[in-house]
Amino acid sequence: MRLRPAIAIAALSVVGAASVAAAAPPAKLDMIDFFTGRTHGENTLNQPFVGPTPLIVDSVGRKDGNEFVMIDTVREGKKPVRTRKWVMRESGPNHYKGTLTDATGPVDIAVGGNGAVIRYTMKGGLKIEQVLELQPSGRALKSTVIARKFGMRFATATGTIRKLD
């Protein structure tokens, strides 16, 4: 009689292990596919002496020949609404280079697996690093932005970008 619970536990262990082994691998991030059409980002910007500020970014992206163009509408707290433009070109496997109206030089995007890292320098010398991580639904990205100046963390923004189309 005492064997039945042990057999049941053993059977559940085998079923559990089989379901883990059969789980699908994480989806790969396709930056162009994700950002083609409309996306909506809701973030919280944290800066010293300012506190948390809502940072909302609505974007529309499209392919234009061998370039990808995206227009952002940015709402940062009580500041006036602004727009910015990204123009990106594939520069190698899983790698993009381009421009951003907020940047003083080139934008670099490295894609790997289910994520990407975006790096550029903004006007005023802020060095930006944004890490994107595709969520299991495939329709959202976790976004973490760190802004540094003189090597020190100046601000952070965390949030989610959702694909609307």
For residue 61, the domain's CATH number is 2.40.128.20
Q: What is the number of domains present in the chain? A: 1
Q: Any alpha helices (H) in 22-92, and if so which ranges?
A: 31-35
Beta bridge partners of 9: none
Which regions of 4-134 does DSSP assign to beta strands (E)?
37-47, 51-64, 67-76, 82-92, 95-100, 107-112, 115-121, 127-134
Instruction: Give pLDDT tens digits for 120-138.
Output: 999 889 999 999 999 999 9
Matching residue, tokens 């699908």 = 24
Residue 63, in any domain of the structure: yes
Which residues fall within 8 angstroms of residue 32, CB to CB, at 6 or more apart?
Answer: 61, 63, 68
Inside any domain, residue 150: yes
Residue 34 included in any domain:
yes
| Interval 55-81: pLDDT, tens | 999 999 999 999 999 999 999 999 999
Note the pLDDT of residue 24.
60
Q: Please check whether residue 140 lies inside any domain of the structure.
A: yes
Q: Is residue 95 part of a domain?
A: yes
Position with higher pLDDT, 3 vs 106: 106
As a whole number, mean pLDDT of residues 13-30 equals 58
Residue 79 backbone dihedrals phi, psi, to 5 degrees? -70, 160
pLDDT of amino acid 91: 95
In a domain, 69, yes or no: yes
Q: What is the pLDDT of residue 123?
A: 85
What does the pLDDT average to over 21-30? 70
